[in-house]
Chains A and B, each alone.
Chain A
Amino acid sequence: MQWNSFADFLSMGGYAVYVWSSFGLTILALIWEVAALRLRKSKAIKQIKQADAWAKRRVER
Chain B
Amino acid sequence: MTGINWFKYAAPQTFFHLSGKWIPVLGWIAFFLAIAGLYIGFFIAPTDFQQGEAYRIIFIHVPAAWMSMVIYLAMAFWAAIGLVFNTRLSAMMALALAPTGALFTALALITGSFWGKPTWGTWWVWDARLTSELILLFLYVGFIALHASIDNPQRADRAAAIIAIVGALNVPIIYFSVQWWNTLHQGASINVASAPKMAVTMLIGMLVMTLASWAYSVAVALFRVRCIILERERHAAWVNDLKEVKS
Residues of A within 8 A of B (CB): 1-3, 9, 12-15, 18-19, 21-23, 25-26, 29-30, 33-34, 37, 40-41, 44-45, 47-49, 51-52
**Complex alpha-carbon distance, A23 and B53, angstroms:** 13
- Is the CB–CB distance between B231 and A18 below 8 Å? no
Interface stretch (choices B112-120, B159-167, B183-191)? B112-120
Given A44-B230, A44-B234, A51-B234, answer yes or no on A33-B100 (Cβ-Cβ < 8 Å).
yes
Given A25-B110, A44-B227, A44-B231: A19 in contact with B53 (beta carbons within 8 A): yes
B231 contact set on A, CB distance < 8 A:
44, 47
A1: shortest Cβ distance to chain B, in Å?
Answer: 6
- For residue A36, give the distance in angstroms from its CB to the closest CB of chain B: 9
Q: Tell me whether A22 and B226 are in contact in the complex, defined as CB-CB below 8 angstroms, given that A2-B46, A47-B234, A48-B240 are known contacts.
A: no
* Cβ 8 A contact of A15, one of B44, B53, B111: B53
B-to-A contact residues, CB < 8 Å:
38, 42-44, 46-47, 52-54, 56-57, 60-61, 64, 99-100, 103, 106-107, 110-111, 114-115, 117-118, 216, 220, 223-224, 226-227, 230-231, 234-235, 239-240, 244-245
Please name the residue on chain A nearest to B64 by beta carbon: A26
Select from chain B the residue with minimum beta-carbon distance to A47. Answer: B234
User: Do B53 and A12 touch across chains, with their CB atoms under 8 A apart?
Assistant: yes
A37 x B220 contact (CB < 8 A): yes
CB neighbours (8 Å) of B239 from chain A are 48
Total A-B Cβ pairs within 8 A:
87
B107 near A49: Cβ-Cβ < 8 Å: no
- Is there contact, CB below 8 Å, between B61 and A33? no
Assembled-state Cα–Cα distance A10/B155 (Å): 52
CB-CB < 8 A to A23: which residues of B? 38, 60
Chain B residues positioned under 8 Å from A37 (CB to CB) = 220, 223-224, 227
**Bound-state Cα–Cα, A14 to B106, Å:** 25
Given contacts A12-B56, A13-B52, contact A30 B230 (CB under 8 A): no
Say whether B47 contacts A13, CB under 8 Å.
yes
State the CA gap A22–B102 with chains docked (Å).
17
Minimum CB distance partner of B63 in chain A: A26
Q: Quick check: A18 and B117 within 8 Å, CB to CB?
A: yes
Contact assessment for A15 and B43 in the assembled complex, using a CB-CB cutoff below 8 Å? no
Contact residues in A for B111 (Cβ distance below 8 Å): 22, 25-26
Asked whether A15 and B220 contact (CB < 8 A) given A33-B99, A37-B227, A49-B245, the answer is: no
Q: How far is the CA of A57 from the CA of B21 in the complex (A)?
A: 34
